[in-house]
Structure 1
Amino acid sequence: MFTLLGSGTLIAYLYSIYTLIINHQGHVNLFFDAAAAITTLVLAGQWIEQRSEDKLARALKDLLSLTPPTARLLSHGSEKIIPWSAIQPGNQLAVLPGETIPTDGKILEGHASVEESILTGEPLPVEKFVGDSVLGGTLVSGGRLLILAEIAGNDSLVARLARLVDEAKENPPPFQRFADKVAGIFTPLVLLLAAATAVGWILAGETTATAINRAVAVLIAACPCALGLAAPVATACGLSRAARLGVLIRDPTSLEKLSKVKLLVVDKTGTLTEGNPAITQITTAEGISQTSALILAASLASSSLHPFSRAILRAAQARSLSFPKITDLQEIPGQGLTGQTLDGKRVALGNSEFLEKHLVAPEKTLRISPSEGVWSEEGPAKSSVSLALNGQLVAVFFMADPIRSTTPAAIHSLKNLGIDIELLTGDQPEPAQAVAAQLGITRVQAGVKPDGKAARVSSLIGTVPGLVAMAGDGTNDALALASADLGISLGSGTDAAKEAAAVVVLKGDIAGIARAFLMGRATVRVIRQNLFLAFAYNTLALPAAAG
């Protein structure tokens, strides 16, 4: 761009001096005003471009401003102030009302309202209790909290997202790489065209002033900057706008991928539903009470991040139950946990298929009817988690996880975009089918293990006239996210899911995913429009300038 503009401006300026001082021949053809006007317009264009790029810089600054400079560290009964960058996993941090949570962690003590709108877009404060996870950068609006830091301050969600925004500026999308190649060829061609124009007019018998005027017009009219800026300005605006809407895009190439997705594979728990299941029924075998079953289950669940484990733990905490320490603890993501009590009893907690492997004499069915309280082949259309003690099935916990209020509208929006939806979950078929029926989803795969999810997603690639995206929030979704053409993680999900995804939706529901698709399509539409206008302008302007 500057080669052509600089050449045109310099030629106009030098020829004006030559004509004025040396060879005016009774009349003067001056182009000082043209040189000044061109310079002014170029500077104005640079100012507009800089404003567009500043939008992304402001989004980055806004993210970084969420982190407090210091944190209150509790150590050996005393409190001291440490730099935010010095926070390490395992630190116990105190957060007072009105202060910002310094890093991601889990509540050890206290109850408070936490404002998460800056990260998730949720306008109302969220009530947080012992055991709940909290995000660095969110504001405690009531109550004092004692938090166990799970990651270092520099690795918190806010810090990672800020790095993503910064890295995104350095990775041009395919549209931009194409435009840059065209602009690289365009500049020498225009220089040749300008020279040919000047020679042509002189050979046609016109004056040198006329020839130079036409050549300068070609140089000035040519606009490789329109080609070079068509993609990056739109991309920068799209990334910053997406960040303000709670959608963080790791790689700008994902903007183009978002516009090409035709099939979205989604997990159920936490994506379509609230992600906070609650126990609705505990049915136990003869000889064990509900309280005893809950204590055993909570002793295993306390070490797991699975939503069902969190539900069991919340139920035990609500009853102020204390549970024994478990040794030899093992977890298979998406299936269940096993361990051993201090008195040597083997305990297993998980789904039906997992529990069958840990029973001495597997029952015909692992469901218990909550209405009758007896073993039966048919169970309700609810999710269930079973508990085994020393190889004997002793209890079943039935869970209910309501559909998010924003999910139906988001599903409708996705379908209007021409995106088909498949529900892919490790949950039992009955609750999966029930949720799908309520939302009008016809493609359902239930009872799928983590490796099975990845295999299913891989098998779908190439079967639709577009790309396949996977959206999930759990550790058991990480393989599937990495297998998809485009992985979308929810901000409320696990670190494994976020690392495997190219797009992070901070407000963890499918409504945010719908926003991501809308933003991707809008950005690509603007880029295509810009490129079309740039090509059209140069196609029309250059012949006109050459005369």
Structure 2
Amino acid sequence: MTTTSTPAVELTIEGMTCASCANRIERKLNKLPGVTASVNYATESASVTLPADLAVDDAIRTVEAAGYGAHLPEPPGADTDELAPLRRRLIVSTVLAVPVVALSMVPVLQFPGWQWAVLVLALPVAVWGAWPFHRAAAINARHGAATMDTLVSVGVAAATVWSVWALVFGGAGHIGMQMAFSWFPHPGAAPEPYFEVAAAVTVFLLAGRYFEARAKDRSGAALQALLALGAPTARVLRDGVETEVPTAALQVGDRFVVRPGERIATDGTITDGTSAIDTSVMTGEAVPVEVGTGDTVTGATVNVGGRLIVEATRVGQDTELARIGRLVVSAQTGKAEVQRLADRVSAVFVPIVMGLAVLTLIGWLLLTGDVQAAFTAAVATLVIACPCALGLATPTALLVGTGRGSQLGILIRGPQVLEATRRIDTVVLDKTGTVTTGKMSVHQVTAVGGETDTRVLALAAAAEAGSEHPIARAITAAATDHPTADTFQSTAGLGVQAVVDDTLVLVGRPAWLTDQWAITIPEAVTDAVRTAEQGGATAVVVAWDGAARGVISVADTIAPTSPDAIRRLHDMGLRTIMLTGDAEDVARTVAAEVGIDDVEAEVRPEDKYRTVTRLQQQGRSVAMIGDGVNDAAALAAADLGIAMGSGTDAAMEAADITLIRADLSAAADAIALARRTLGTIKVNLFWAFAYNVAAIPLAMAGLLNPMIAGAAMALSSVFVVSNSLRLRTFQPR
């Protein structure tokens, strides 16, 4: 029985405080029949694919039953300050904790009865300030789970209870008692209150969580800014009158006016006017693009020139801006393999740490009989071991990296793409529209038999005017003036014939003219054809009155950035292979000019797919870069598919990375950004693991003050997030 699924629904999750919370929610959602869910702690969101018989409310109720909140995302630009409660709690706790720490650490400040004043100041911090940790720990305990909050809550509560006991029953409450700060605990010392530990650990962790939340907001700012770029209103033309309507009300076929300086409301086709369009918000390209009647434009780009009238072709969720947003969100809410490893570790880490803390307590009591030393070591073990940095290591880097990519016109479909870029050793490229611009132009006209270049081009343009072939369009575009043909007929793949001013004009391949029309090709024409093809151009012969009169060579123009892009791919240690349906001579000329290693010419679409799979069978990891429908199968089969944004929807749907900027150098940028993001994740994971591996034994050995442990744990999370934020500075070459 087949279960039909709806598209993935994005939910905002409330109440998550660590990676263990995300794992718990994910497990609960995936237990629902037919549900596939991925929960991301860094983005505080869940991507949930539901079967047809389950509603979004069912998923929300499941999250709430696990002790958390869930709702559909707020619209872009919604005015919410989610950090305000946390900021208020941090400020009040800090104001109360500073005198607690000062009095506990500096003996000269300790007036008679100071410890009772510290009790009054510290209790609100340990109870109200640490309430988010206590609440989360209690919720998870009711469900038989333990998270990072459990470690913090137990540690703060234990320090507070011990301190109250020390004051009331342990003798630490007598007037005149003094206490000095020490980096390391002192076994055998008289019982002392640990209020400064409870207060300082709470403040350190609240501060770490606050700065972590701020950093996560900043790391997601690229996507938020992207989604907020759309024009809020549009001036629709109805019966010749401009009427301002909300952009959301636009329908396909509506014609709307875009004045200079305004954003284009939605994707469409220009029906009147010429201008220049600033596409930097979508492609990262700083130079405006010249456009005119018949050209397509994208919503959210800026009209910097003249007045335009645009006919809407895509609206709402079908627009390019909406598609980009979905791709980026999908990438940010997915999980890379390295993240799944971290998830598995953090899921069992908390119970292990709780066990280690109990063993530490029992071990110290058995070996030394010193209750205070045993308690200190156990609390330090609980506090230092929080796996918060481990949970943040991957998603924050992924969040920032994909956000930066969206700003540069690089859309990474999912986190698994990062691992693919690391393994790639071979890059296969389509030629037309990838290495070249995809726009044919006339390079040379050679007239023979006493004719002029102008007349040869004019009659050829007249004959080709009825054809939509790229060569025909290049010839007609090159002729500033040409007569009109009376009749027209095309022979697919060979040539065209037309009557122009009562003269039969033929334009096509030499063999077609010879075989079909018995026209003798003079040596001068043959030489011109050979020279054109050796130079990488396609040559057609023009004939009339029964004789060949000239040769027109047409070539696709190599994109100016292609040579540098190929050099950069080589610098990354990648071998390059170009696949094209063009003739061998043309293909090798283009490859030599840009520096491509190898060429396979005269290949069909299915041959491109076979080439990719053959290379994979040889043990190579292959990236495919293309832009056409004929590249879709190869893009899907490749280990990494990269689609040029100027290409077809089929190519972009099959690809792992889409380049909005139709520029091969953007492919090199994409690989470089993906590799740098993966490198950042590895650094984050190394430090997160190394931190816990090194610190836990110190804490268990009694060599770590719990207050210092709290500060170190908070700083580890801040380090991971800050290291990820460095990806915002990535600049393409």
The TM-score bracket by the shorter chain reads 0.7 to 0.9
| TM-fit CA distance, 1:474 | 2.3
Counterpart in 2 of 1:342?
Answer: none
Query: 2:226 & 2:651 partners in 1: Cα distance?
Result: 21
2:246 maps to a residue whose letter is P
Identity %: 39
1:449 maps onto 2:604 in alignment: yes
1:193 maps onto 2:356 in alignment: yes
**Aligned ranges 1:258-337 → 2 under 5 Å:** 258-281=421-444, 290-291=457-458, 293-294=460-461, 297-301=464-468, 311=474, 314-315=477-478
Contact 2:529–2:540 (8 Å) recurs in 1: no
From the CA coordinates, give the structure whose radius of gyration is larger. 2
**Match 1:9 to one of 156, 159, 162:** 156
Query: 1:263 & 1:400 partners in 2: Cα distance?
Result: 27
2:589 maps to a residue whose letter is A
1:40 maps onto 2:194 in alignment: no
| TM-fit CA distance, 1:285 | 13
Larger fraction in helix: 2
Counterpart in 2 of 1:492?
Answer: 646
1:63 maps onto 2:226 in alignment: yes
Query: 1:162 & 1:247 partners in 2: Cα distance?
Result: 12
Contact 2:461–2:482 (8 Å) recurs in 1: no
Query: 1:121 & 1:369 partners in 2: Cα distance?
Result: 51
| TM-fit CA distance, 1:132 | 2.9
**Match 2:566 to one of 401, 411, 421:** 411
Distance 1:377 1:397, change over 3 A: closer
Counterpart in 1 of 2:687?
Answer: 533
**Match 1:512 to one of 666, 673, 676:** 666
**Match 1:474 to one of 625, 628, 633:** 628
Contact 2:220–2:400 (8 Å) recurs in 1: no
| TM-fit CA distance, 1:491 | 2.2
Query: 1:452 & 1:439 partners in 2: Cα distance?
Result: 23
- Secondary structure of the structure 2 residue equivalent to 1:269: helix
Could you report, residue by residue, the CA deviation over 1:50-108 in whole angstroms, capped at 9, with x for unpaired residues? Answer: 23322342111221233212223335544433432344444433322212222333333
**Match 2:525 to one of 372, 377, 392:** 372
Counterpart in 2 of 1:433?
Answer: 588
Query: 1:104 & 1:281 partners in 2: Cα distance?
Result: 37
Contact 1:423–1:436 (8 Å) recurs in 2: yes
Query: 2:466 & 2:694 partners in 1: Cα distance?
Result: 74
Counterpart in 2 of 1:341?
Answer: none
Distance 1:325 1:236, change over 3 A: farther
Gap runs ≥5 in structure 2: 1-147, 175-189, 450-454, 497-505, 543-547, 702-733
Greater mean alpha carbon deviation, residues 159-168 or residues 84-93: 84-93
Greater mean alpha carbon deviation, residues 400-409 or residues 244-253: 400-409
1:154 maps onto 2:317 in alignment: yes
**Match 2:330 to one of 146, 157, 167:** 167
**Match 2:271 to one of 108, 126, 141:** 108
Greater mean alpha carbon deviation, residues 25-34 or residues 307-316: 307-316
Distance 1:272 1:374, change over 3 A: closer
1:126 maps onto 2:289 in alignment: yes
- Secondary structure of the structure 1 residue equivalent to 2:334: coil
Query: 2:269 & 2:165 partners in 1: Cα distance?
Result: 76
| TM-fit CA distance, 1:36 | 1.7
Contact 2:268–2:298 (8 Å) recurs in 1: yes
Counterpart in 1 of 2:697?
Answer: 543
Counterpart in 2 of 1:139?
Answer: 302
Distance 1:337 1:202, change over 3 A: farther
Contact 2:459–2:482 (8 Å) recurs in 1: no
Contact 1:487–1:501 (8 Å) recurs in 2: yes
Distance 1:117 1:110, change over 3 A: same
**Match 2:401 to one of 235, 238, 257:** 238
Greater mean alpha carbon deviation, residues 53-62 or residues 205-214: 53-62
| TM-fit CA distance, 1:544 | 0.9
- Secondary structure of the structure 2 residue equivalent to 1:461: helix
Could you report, residue by residue, the CA deviation over 1:307-358 in whole angstroms, capped at 9, with x for unpaired residues? Answer: 7676467558x6599999999x9x9xxx8999xxxxxxxxx999x8xx99x9
Query: 1:403 & 1:463 partners in 2: Cα distance?
Result: 30
| TM-fit CA distance, 1:203 | 0.8
Distance 1:469 1:23, change over 3 A: same
1:524 maps onto 2:678 in alignment: yes
Counterpart in 2 of 1:384?
Answer: 538
| TM-fit CA distance, 1:258 | 1.8
Contact 2:628–2:648 (8 Å) recurs in 1: yes
- Secondary structure of the structure 2 residue equivalent to 1:223: coil
Q: How many residue pairs get matched?
A: 522
The two structures, once aligned, show a CA RMSD in angstroms of 4.1
- Secondary structure of the structure 2 residue equivalent to 1:257: helix
Greater mean alpha carbon deviation, residues 168-177 or residues 91-100: 91-100
| TM-fit CA distance, 1:178 | 0.9
Distance 1:220 1:119, change over 3 A: same
| TM-fit CA distance, 1:206 | 2.6
Distance 1:512 1:55, change over 3 A: farther
Could you report, residue by residue, the CA deviation over 1:138-165 in whole angstroms, capped at 9, with x for unpaired residues? Answer: 2111112233333234322222111212
Query: 2:487 & 2:261 partners in 1: Cα distance?
Result: 36
Counterpart in 1 of 2:81?
Answer: none
Could you report, residue by residue, the CA deviation over 1:351-392 in whole angstroms, capped at 9, with x for unpaired residues? Answer: x8xx99x99966999xx999738996775234438799xxxx
Query: 2:379 & 2:157 partners in 1: Cα distance?
Result: 9
Gap runs ≥5 in structure 1: 339-347, 389-393
